[in-house]
């Protein structure tokens, strides 16, 4: 167990292509951090640099009290769970789990005991003599976890470990991984492109975009106070509605000739802005009440409904409860002024 400190870490590939721009952060002992972002944002590269599978171009990486920049992956005291499990297909489950310990020269009785314990924790005891090919996806992922936990590492690294599982199993494994991490108290870094995984698992989320860390915060902070239009639209499903408008500096934003929306917190920026509203922070009203909203399509999700339509000439989505009887046509919207986010029109940062 250890804290992780990163200062000015960056990765540049051959022809000056900067995959990870210099970034600095600290991860506390026992913390579960999720790196989330679209594909190509550099989250996997960052993780692989921490693992030692990619060279570090510049900056310093500390795991615990050691600078590990130039150490081999095996010497960094880490364990990694891969997307495609990366189990050795010719070895039994027990041998897969034991392989790392064997290479470290751990005495055989100790290995056996540790494998037994890990298998017990992960419900793998009856599968110890099988080969990975005879296991289901979820079981294989548990073997990969077992391989990680027997080593008692200072740091767990997860590289999209659930993306090959079906939806139901994914939910289950998500909870299992989180429980296991709590129980073992091992500092963890988890990479995913799935914002649901990020929201549900993380102590803290790092949102990455284009090789940069856009925002760091608890899931609630990320969701309720997105630092930029990118974060606002990446986190949350359906994403936040973003509309161009004109802020007059004293409490309201004009979307077009007819439509003006009141906001609660004044911002120190006048003129063109991007206005953000989450689909669920809006309530439906009669057509002559509030802001006019043209409903085009109603999507039934069971627990709630999504209304896709048009607000002041821009696409807009509203999420309403299952009791709502909205139908396509003209309606009115009441928007909670305290739920409105304002962003800089070009830079996208929060105002």
Partner 1 sequence: MAVADSYLSVSQTAEPARRKRRGVRLSTIADHAILIAGALFMLVPVYLALTTASHEAVHIQREGLSFGFGDDLVKNFDAALFAKGGFTGAITGTTMLMNSFILGVGFAVGKIVLSMIAAYAIVYFRLRFATFAFWAIFTTILLPLEVRIVPSYEVIQGIGLTNTYTGLIVPLLASATGTFFFRQFFLSVPDELVEAARIDGAGPVKFFIDILVPLSRTMIAAIFIIMFVYGWNQYLWPTLITTEEGLFTLVRGIRQIIQAMAEGSQIPEYGRMMALAIIAMLPPVAIVILFQSWFVKGLVESEK
Contact residues: partner 1, CB under 8 A: 51-53, 72-74, 78-80, 82-90, 99-100, 103-104, 131, 133, 147
State the Cα angle at 228 between 191 and 343, rounded to 5°: 165
Residues in the chain: 351
Q: How far apart are CA 119 and CA 143, in angstroms?
A: 8
Shortest distance, position 153 Cβ to partner 1, whole Å: 9
CB of 315 to partner 1, least distance (A): 40
The minimum distance between CB 174 and partner 1, in angstroms, equals: 21
Token pair of 200 as six digits? 């549900």
- Per-residue b/e over 112-123, b at no fewer than 16 CB within 10 Å? eebbbebbebbe
Rounded Cα distance, 242 and 237, in Å: 14
Rounded to the nearest whole angstrom, what is the least distance from the CB of residue 262 to partner 1 in the complex?
A: 53
Tokens 């000015």 label which residue? 8
Give yes or no for a cis peptide into 238 (omega within 30° of 0): yes
The smaller minimum CB distance to partner 1, of residues 54 and 60, is found at 54
Nearer to partner 1, 97 or 335 (CB): 97
Provide the token pair at 179: 């429980």
The nearest distance, CB 82 to partner 1, in angstroms, is 5
Q: How far is the CB of 75 from partner 1 (least distance, A)?
A: 8
* Nearest residue (CB) to partner 1, 95 versus 344: 95
Token readout for 307 is 């209304």
The span from the CA of 318 to the CA of 243, in Å, is 14
* Smallest distance from partner 1 to CB 103, Å: 4
Nearest to 68 by CA among 149, 190, 155, 148: 155
Q: Work out how close the CB of 6 gets to partner 1 at its nearest, in angstroms, rounded to a whole number.
A: 19
Nearest-angstrom CA–CA distance, 211 and 16: 13
Which of 4, 307 has the CB closer to partner 1?
4
Q: Residue 150: which of 101, 184, 206, 213 has the closest Cα?
A: 101
Q: How near is the Cβ of 53 to partner 1 at its closest, in Å?
A: 5
Q: Is the CB of 25 or the CB of 99 nearer to partner 1?
A: 99
Tokens of 99: 């392989």
- On whether the CB atoms of residues 63 and 154 are closer than 8 A, the answer is yes
The sign of the torsion formed by the CA atoms of 306, 308, 309, 315 equals positive
Does residue 154 have a cis bond before it (omega within 30 degrees)? no
Q: How far is the CB of 65 from partner 1 (least distance, A)?
A: 21
Burial class (CB in 10 A: 0-12, 13-18, 19+), 108: exposed
Nearer to partner 1, 25 or 82 (CB): 82
Select 21 or 95, whichever has its Cβ closest to partner 1.
95
- Closer Cβ to partner 1, 26 or 102, answer by number: 102
Measured distance CA(104)–CA(119) in Å, rounded: 20
Pick the closer one to partner 1 by CB: 16 or 133. 133
Burial of 157 (0-12, 13-18, 19+ CB in 10 A): buried
Which CB, 145 or 318, lies closer to partner 1? 145
């Amino acid at each position: 167990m250890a804290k992780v400190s990163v200062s000015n870490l960056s990765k540049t590939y051959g022809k000056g292509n900067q995959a990870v721009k210099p970034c600095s952060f600290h991860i506390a002992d026992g913390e579960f951090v999720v790196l989330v972002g679209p594909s190509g944002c550099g989250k996997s590269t960052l993780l692989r640099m921490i693992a030692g599978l990619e060279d570090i171009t510049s900056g310093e990486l500390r795991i615990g009290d050691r600078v590990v920049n130039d150490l081999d992956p095996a010497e960094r005291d880490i364990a990694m769970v891969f997307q495609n499990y990366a189990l050795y297909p010719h070895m039994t489950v027990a041998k897969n789990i034991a392989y790392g310990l064997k290479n470290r020269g751990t005495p055989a009785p100790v290995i056996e005991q540790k494998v037994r314990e890990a298998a017990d924790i992960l419900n793998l005891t009856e599968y110890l003599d099988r080969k990975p090919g005879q296991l289901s996806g979820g079981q294989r992922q548990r073997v990969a976890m077992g391989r990680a936990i027997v080593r008692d590492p200072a740091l767990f690294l997860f590289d999209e470990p659930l993306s090959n599982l079906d939806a139901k199993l994914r939910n289950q494994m998500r909870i299992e991984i989180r429980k296991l991490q709590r129980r073992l108290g091992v500092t963890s870094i988890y990479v995913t492109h799935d914002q649901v995984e990020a929201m549900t698992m993380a102590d803290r989320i790092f949102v990455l975009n284009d090789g940069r860390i856009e925002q760091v915060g608890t899931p609630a902070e990320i969701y309720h106070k997105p630092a930029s239009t990118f974060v606002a639209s990446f986190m949350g499903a359906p994403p936040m509605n973003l509309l161009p408008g004109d802020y007059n500096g004293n409490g309201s934003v004009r979307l077009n000739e007819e439509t003006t929306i009141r906001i609660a917190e004044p911002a120190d920026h006048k003129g063109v802005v991007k206005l953000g509203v989450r689909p669920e922070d809006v309530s439906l009203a009669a057509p002559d009440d509030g802001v006019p909203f043209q409903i085009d399509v109603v999507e039934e999700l069971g627990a709630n409904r999504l209304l896709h339509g048009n607000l002041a000439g821009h696409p807009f989505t509203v999420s309403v409860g299952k009791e709502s009887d909205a139908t396509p046509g003209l309606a009115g919207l009441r928007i909670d002024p305290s739920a409105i986010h304002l962003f800089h029109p070009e830079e996208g940062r929060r105002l």
